[in-house]
């Protein structure tokens, strides 16, 4: 077994294994947007993100597994240093036939990932998109801690069926918002993307109280074919929106969403923004819409209640976390609390 590290997309693009890797992810039943070569290329030069890819090949040169991770940090100087983390969405991907082979392959990939992360990240977090229970013992043996984390997956099979699974309150809010004249559409101009981002900034400043990626991430998504940015407009003004990566015309994801709720009685921009990708998935034959997280089951989380009413299937694939530098991790946690209190 050989494992190769790629720290820039250009390395992968000019490697003989490039085409095979794309096919490997595309055919893998757990394949997802955040483990693709497309995401690697997209995020490669986005401010605050530093991706890398590990690809394992067997004795015959066939790809047996892979994991794509992204180092993230926020701000500059000390703030950037204390916010360094490694996030893996929906990985690793494995193709081994037997459970023993699969676990051994996962062990080797995790070992290489940890070696690469040393000195570059304060902690590692795997955000699972599928059931990894068969690998939990491997993660725990490597030093990771499993933490339950909920999510909702909304099947986009048929509009009447989808709306039937939604709560009556949600369908009523959709109807009232549209009756008032609100509209949903893909962002038509950079200005609409910037208007959406302005609302998102306000949300993160006042309620989420966590760092938000730079505007360039959203503008780059808008210019690409990898995502859809939908905006909600009322009286010709953007009042909400959502940024949604797309995978194989099969899965559409909620990555960032916002809406100026409470502005007008009966107008619910956040509901319309969330409905936009669900409706898009229905119209284009997608399998499902992925909310990308609904909080920990042991904590009250208002956002989870909001998402649950769209009639999705509740799943608990959880997350794996490992702290690489405990002193800096504690300092970073304190810094985040200060940031949240100030904002």
Query: What pLDDT score was predicted for residue 133?
Result: 97
The answer to whether 260 and 198 are in contact (CB under 8 A) is no
DSSP label of 330: H
Residues 6 or more apart whose Cβ sits within 8 Å of residue 23? none
Query: What pLDDT score was predicted for residue 263?
Result: 86
**Antiparallel, parallel or unpaired: β 251-253 and 288-290:** parallel
Confidence of residue 337 (pLDDT cuts 50, 70, 90): low
The answer to whether 270 and 261 are in contact (CB under 8 A) is yes
What is the rounded distance in angstroms from the CA atom of residue 167 to the CA atom of residue 76?
44
Structure tokens at 171: 């369908």
55 forms beta bridges with 4, 66
What is the rounded distance in angstroms from the CA atom of residue 267 to the CA atom of residue 25?
41
How does the average pLDDT of the chain come out, rounded? 93
Query: What pLDDT score was predicted for residue 332?
Result: 64
The answer to whether 240 and 260 are in contact (CB under 8 A) is yes
Summarize pLDDT for 260-316 with one digit per residue, the tens: 998 899 999 999 999 999 999 999 999 999 999 999 998 888 899 999 999 999 999
pTM for this predicted structure: 0.93
**Residue found by looking up tokens 């009250």 in the block:** 300
What domains lie within the chain, and their CATH numbers? 2-149+318-342 (3.40.630.30), 152-315 (3.40.630.30)
What is the rounded distance in angstroms from the CA atom of residue 251 to the CA atom of residue 30?
12
């Amino acid at each position: 077994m050989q494992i190769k590290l790629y720290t820039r997309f250009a390395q992968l693009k000019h490697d003989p294994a490039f085409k095979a890797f794309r096919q490997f992810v595309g055919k893998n039943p757990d394949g997802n947007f955040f483990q693709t070569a497309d995401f690697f290329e997209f995020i490669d030069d986005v401010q605050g993100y530093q991706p890398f890819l590990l690809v394992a090949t067997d004795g015959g040169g066939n790809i047996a597994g892979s994991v794509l991770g992204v180092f993230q940090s926020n701000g500059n100087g000390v703030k950037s240093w204390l916010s360094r983390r490694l996030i893996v969405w929906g990985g690793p991907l494995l193709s081994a036939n037997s459970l023993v082979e699969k676990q051994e392959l996962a062990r080797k990939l995790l070992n290489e990932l940890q070696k690469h992360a040393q000195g570059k990240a304060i902690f590692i977090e795997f955000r699972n998109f599928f059931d990894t229970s068969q690998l939990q013992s491997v993660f725990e043996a490597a030093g990771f801690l499993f933490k339950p984390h909920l999510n909702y997956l909304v099947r986009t099979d048929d509009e009447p069926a989808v709306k039937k699974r939604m709560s009556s309150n949600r369908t009523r809010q959709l109807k009232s918002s549209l009756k008032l004249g609100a509209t949903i559409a893909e962002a038509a101009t950079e200005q609409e993307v910037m208007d959406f981002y302005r609302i998102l900034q306000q949300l993160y400043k006042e309620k989420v109280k966590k760092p938000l990626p730079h505007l360039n991430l959203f503008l780059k998504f808008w210019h690409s074919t990898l995502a859809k940015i939908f905006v909600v407009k009322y009286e010709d003004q953007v009042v909400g929106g959502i940024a949604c990566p797309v995978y194989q015309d099969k899965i559409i994801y909620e990555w960032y969403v916002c809406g100026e709720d409470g502005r007008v009685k009966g107008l619910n921009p956040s509901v319309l923004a969330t409905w936009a990708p669900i409706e898009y998935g229905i119209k284009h034959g997608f399998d499902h819409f992925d909310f990308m997280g609904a909080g920990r089951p042991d904590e009250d989380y208002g956002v989870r209640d909001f998402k649950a009413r769209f009639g999705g299937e509740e799943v608990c694939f959880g997350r794996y976390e490992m702290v690489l530098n405990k002193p800096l991790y504690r300092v970073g946690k304190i810094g985040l609390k200060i940031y949240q209190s100030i904002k």
